[in-house]
Amino acid sequence: MSDESPQQDKRKRHPAVSLFIEAGTIIGLALVISFIVKTFFLRAFYIPSESMEPTLQVDDRIVVNLLAPQVMDIHRGDVVVFEDTRNWWGSGSTPDPGPVQEALMFIGLAPDTSSHFVVKRVVALEGDTVVCCDDDGRIEVNGQPIEEPYLFPGDSPSEYEFEVEIPAEHVWLLGDHRSASADSRAHVDEPDAGAVPLDDVIGRNLAVVWPLDRISGGGSERDPFEAVPEAESAR
């Protein structure tokens, strides 16, 4: 019978084996932490189109705060990502991820390139009435004209007229590049008047993280909506 204790056996383990075990443990923990963060707190996405220019550019990688709207409120002026559960925006044109990228997307180490996720700006909340346009060509929310500094240079707030009231538990969204954005305006004659259910909102854009020369905040602009009065239905 050997007189060696388990601790002596451990000391005799080859250094390379110990290093491999430690590295595997660290990597495993990092993957678990990344998956938890991606599932409950932050998630990365890829921007495939020009619809949110100049705020977001094609090929930008963004990080989204998943606590909004489940824990934190969504406000007018916020830039949000939502799931296109009704296929209003179609399949789009996005990169076709390989198995490795799909695995990295699943655990949260690569941005999600899925075409069924869409990014737009919230301009109205439940109960709000949105009208286009006033005599100066501005969109009105609950009768308050909105100056929109984030619009793509040369774009008008809208090229056609509309008047909608936002259903309960919904938000109404527009792209910043209005002439290149198929947004809520394209569905005003359909159920929910083009509004998106809050349950479909994944989260609020927190930051642009790639490319390096584009690193910036999430692009939310709440100031233009500060003077908007409370919706009639909420009074």
Which residues are catalytic, by number? 51, 120
> How far is residue 195's CA from residue 185's CA, in Å, rounded to a whole number?
9
Q: Are 225 and 142 in contact (CB under 8 A)?
A: no
**How far is Cα 63 from Cα 208, in angstroms, rounded to an integer?**
6
- 196 token code pair: 């998106």
DSSP string, 94-147: -----HHHHHHHHHTSS-B--TTEEEEEEEE-TT-EEEE--TTS--EETTEE--
